Structure 1
Amino acid sequence: MAPAYLATIPALRRAARWAPAALFSSGIVAGDKPVLVRDFVRSALYDPNHGYFSKRSGPVGVLDSAIRFHKLDGRNAYMKHLDKLYKMHDISWFTPVELFKPWYAYAIAASILRTANLSVPLKIYEIGGGSGTCAKCVLDYMMLNAPPKVYNNMKYISVEISSSLAEKQLETVGEVQSHLSKFTVEHRDATDVAGWGSKDPQPCWVLMLEVCTARICPVKETKRHHCCHKVYQQLVHIG
């Protein structure tokens, strides 16, 4: 029997849309004209055909099992082990939540459980959930440590701009069948206000573990001219 998460993937793909001209502030997508740095970075990261995060193999590493830190003799041993992992997996990088799983996500979940108002259903948003390790580990922790009512009624929503990573998150979380009814992937741009819908007065938690690193926000690259002190936005010419 096919895993339950597979039923969600076709709908996820149908919902996937990429409209670079509408998202780029300059209106220039490619060609002979230069584009703003933030638009170039956005395309390089998320374009469905050549974007860094759009490859199915993925640049974000996933460990087969947790690192046994108690068997590592200090920092040097850890760095050697890390070097070995990178060579074995041949990927660009591991996120902290992956390297320190499940404890990194467990610490987040414990903090949420300790401080949340449990009289209302727990709702957690994660922006840019990578391979889904954080989501799965948080849900694992809630399943094992939270009152059954909290786990059974909670919602964990991942807002993911990359379709390949959105699918990977469903696979990862789907390793535990009961998690799937609590977990949703919204394949959209978290910076697009329209995607959030109407205001919800209920409290929620928002996790953004890798947002600044991945530069999901439309950051402006500027330079100040040394003579006239005017500020200019930088452009990239795609040859």
Structure 2
Amino acid sequence: MVFCPDCGAENADSAKFCKNCGHSLNANRPIKDNYVNTGIDPSARVNDNSNSSNSNINSNSKSDNKNLIIICLTIVICALLIAGAMVMLSNNNANDSDSDALSDSASLNSGSVENVSSSETSAQATQENSPQIYRGSFSTGSSASDKTHCTVYVGSEHAGEKIKISVLYLNNGDALNQGKVVTKTVSGDGYVKVASASAFDYYPDEAHISLYDSNGDILDTKTVYLYESSGKQTF
């Protein structure tokens, strides 16, 4: 018998090619003699080579798996580092935006405060330069059937100016007149004089004075409590 050196299959002594794999057998005749003399089966050597190849394959497979695991871990670590860097960059941008927003808000608030302050200052200056009720007097004739006269000092600096004024009289909480708004000219000494449109059935015990600007907005008001009697009463 002749064993194929390639696959280890048994072949007839006269065979030139292996019946199993077709490998040439002419150059392997000594294999038979060696088997006869030593008892070493060539197929065993072939199998040993096969086992060695399998061992190498398994070893290479394990090495490849180890390398693959290392590559995967490297990729994961790089991804985590990149994600962390992006998060930090995003937080920094957000902080910068918040800082800018706060700065802009502070600027706007500052501007608003300045505008309000300026407006209040302007309104205060206008109010100070406008006619005001400083003092005055009321006088009624000897009977309630006489008209009641009101004299109000608004400031001599407004002499010659036209102002709007109303005087509402009451007695025990009931209105004695309509308190209509009338236009008067400030006298040279800074006084405005207003007489009631008609006489009353009772002496007034209360009077409400109001000054208005040209737009009808109230500049100043004052409530004066009176004695129910004739004569002059100052406030």
Which TM-score band (shorter chain)?
under 0.3
> How high is the TM-score relative to the length of structure 2?
0.19
Q: Find the structure with the greater CA-based Rg.
A: 2
> How high is the TM-score relative to the length of structure 1?
0.18
Q: Structure 1 or 2: larger strand share?
A: 2
Where relative contact order (Cα < 8 A, 6+ residues apart) is larger, the structure is 1
